[in-house]
Amino acid sequence: MDDSKGLALAFEEAKISYDEGGVPIGAALIAADGKVLGRGRNMRVQSSNPILHGETSCLQNAGRLPSSAYKGSTMYTTLSPCDMCTGACILYGIARVVIGENKTFLGGEAYLRQRGVEVVVLDSAECRGLMERFIAEKPEVWNEDIGVEERVYSREGVEAPSV
């Protein structure tokens, strides 16, 4: 599947989450042959579930799959994945992670690369705009989502890029 089409599926999920009052992060898992295995969105607020981030929600919606289903697959996500979602991608052997944007938050991209996962950042203005809007509207919910009390860009101490 073309990366722009995969990201578009993830962005649809992010918009749904935002409209539901949740954190606007979406994900889509696409098999090597282009089949959509699952789609999901951050559901922490809507489900009161601390581990339903975009990527983990996507994996849950994909259901129980044999490990071969993940071989060569791509996880499309609107935002750089947090440590938990990075770990889930590594655990299931997802080959590629395509990220909409990493300007509002930088997750485990370096660790994904270290573990042999191809990481592509598309620098989507659309993804970034929605995330910035949400962070401005609900900073306390965003901080809760990433497990901090104040706004951070990266848990690795990386400074946010100047905009």
Residue type, 137: E
Residue 119 and residue 112 in contact, taking contact as beta carbons nearer than 8 Å: yes
**pLDDT reported for residue 1:** 82
Q: Which of 13, 55, 101, 109 is catalytic?
A: 55
Give me the average pLDDT of each 10-residue run along the chain (163 residues).
Answer: 96 98 97 97 95 97 95 97 96 97 94 97 98 94 75 66 64
**pLDDT reported for residue 43:** 97
**pLDDT reported for residue 87:** 97
- Say whether 55 is catalytic: yes
**pLDDT reported for residue 163:** 57
Residue 76 and residue 7 in contact, taking contact as beta carbons nearer than 8 Å: yes
Residue 64 burial (10 A CB sphere; 0-12, 13-18, 19+): exposed
**pLDDT reported for residue 145:** 75
**pLDDT reported for residue 143:** 84
Angstrom distance (rounded) from CA 132 to CA 95: 28
Angstrom distance (rounded) from CA 129 to CA 108: 21
Give the CA-trace dihedral at 95, 30, 141, 135, to 10 degrees. Answer: 90
Distance from chain centroid for Cα 139: 18
Angstrom distance (rounded) from CA 71 to CA 96: 10
**pLDDT reported for residue 162:** 66
